[in-house]
A = this chain, B = another copy of it.
Amino acid sequence: MAAEKIPYKIYLSEDELPRTWYNVRADMKTKPAPLLNPATGAPMGYDDLRPVFCDELIRQELDNDTREIPIPTEIRDFYKMYRPAPLVRAYCLEERLGTPAKIYYKFEGNNTSGSHKLNSAIAQAYYAKQQGLKGVTTETGAGQWGTALSMACAYLGLDCKVYMVKVSYEQKPFRREVMRVYGASVTPSPSETTEVGRKILAEHPGTTGSLGCAISEAVEAATKTPGYRYVLGSVLNQVLLHQSVIGCEAKTALDKYGVKPDIIIGCAGGGSNLGGLISPFMGEKLRGERDYRFIAVEPASCPSLTRGRFAYDFCDTGAVCPLAKMYTLGSNFIPSANHAGGLRYHGMSPVLSQLYHDGYMEAVSVEQTRVFEAAEQFARIEGILPAPESSHAIRVAIDEALRCKETGEEKTILFGLTGTGYFDMVAYEKFHDGKMTDYIPSDEELQASFARLPKVPGQA
């Protein structure tokens, strides 16, 4: 059979948009560890989580068994406004690299939030609306998640309160403005509007905030405001579930052309994109049906998988959230100030952490100047100006393609291009002007952070 020429972009039809999310936990022999109550150390069940999360989302969070969970029609209708997302064959990049490798990327940047975050934002907002809530609270760092949630809430007529890490609030006023266009209220964090915010400000006057602080504030605001719940853009099992739409679409598109990837690469901050991208492929691997190499790429300045501890830790700085078992740098770890992109969370999705721990996935860390080199190269060749986060995956995809060039192997590489860098031009400018530096935390710095990990029964 003559191989059909694969187009530059494989677009699925709306009918081919997945009807179910893929819950990779159903295939895991060792399930991700449960969330623990920080006060008692007991696993948190449905009722324990109800003050914080929406009911249906808790069910999804705790469901380790159902492999396929139906996507409600209303969410699928919203998906149709910007999905299916294209799977792109990087013909130009392959040619320029002179590699025998075949490179594909799943591009999630063709929507106003500029990233894949919208896939989970609409799901979480939908279930909040279903439950009759007035609104939701959340935190945002670089602002992609906050933007996505604002868009979803505007669409559904829900109120949206975003706590934005203060340094981003000030350095990325345009992201803030996008959220305001969508009707969200945006508060720089830490703020005086919450108890935990005031406490952090008292202890660290002049702090520019962190994702961990903003989470604490958003959780407090949700639990203290009647009719509100807290939603989160990464890390949680439910988020990976929603993001599996990325992997399901990618797999359907590749299957149409009989293509099987050898290597699947994604950037990893909290793990939402990587987890979503690999889910159905990982399912095949876990069931022993097919082998794939999975590579998580993280910044050298925030290396939770490659240098963190696999331990129970707080998800936030204010220690108001449940404990999660994950690869972590410690909830007080903040990447150095010269770190440009996102991917700055101290921990990692418990699902991905477990898979990594069990040897189903590899991880590498890369320095940001090499990341921006890849970003600029990619932009000039493939046209799309990538987000710094996404460029971590580009860097390693290019490295793997160049390795194929050396060995002559015709491997098929799939990577996740999570979004666009239109709001990251300050970082691009720094790189361009030779003012970008790298930073790798010292072992001492990490040891000091590990020493502050919470004491949990059964954890050394």
Contact = CB atoms under 8 A, between A and B. Distances in A.
Interface in A194-215: none
Interface string A366-399: 0000000000100111111100000000000000
Contacts of A380: 154-155, 181-183
Contacts of A8: 14, 77, 80-81
What is the oligomeric copy number? 2
A10 to B, nearest CB: 10
Given A8-B80, A81-B8, A428 B385 contact: no
Interface string A325-366: 000000000000000000000000000000000000000000
A112 interface: yes
Nearest to A150: B380
Given A81-B382, A82-B383, A422 B9 contact: no
Nearest to A81: B383
Given A7-B80, A8-B14, A177-B428, 15 more contacts: A111-B384, A112-B379, A112-B384, A112-B422, A151-B383, A155-B380, A155-B381, A174-B174, A174-B425, A177-B425, A177-B429, A178-B425, A180-B432, A181-B376, A422-B422
Interface of A: 7-9, 11, 13-14, 77, 80-82, 92, 110-112, 114, 151, 154-155, 173-174, 177-178, 180-183, 376, 379-385, 420, 422-423, 425-426, 428-429, 432
18 contacts: A7-B14, A8-B14, A8-B80, A8-B81, A9-B14, A81-B92, A111-B383, A112-B385, A151-B383, A154-B380, A155-B383, A173-B425, A177-B425, A177-B429, A177-B432, A180-B428, A180-B432, A181-B380
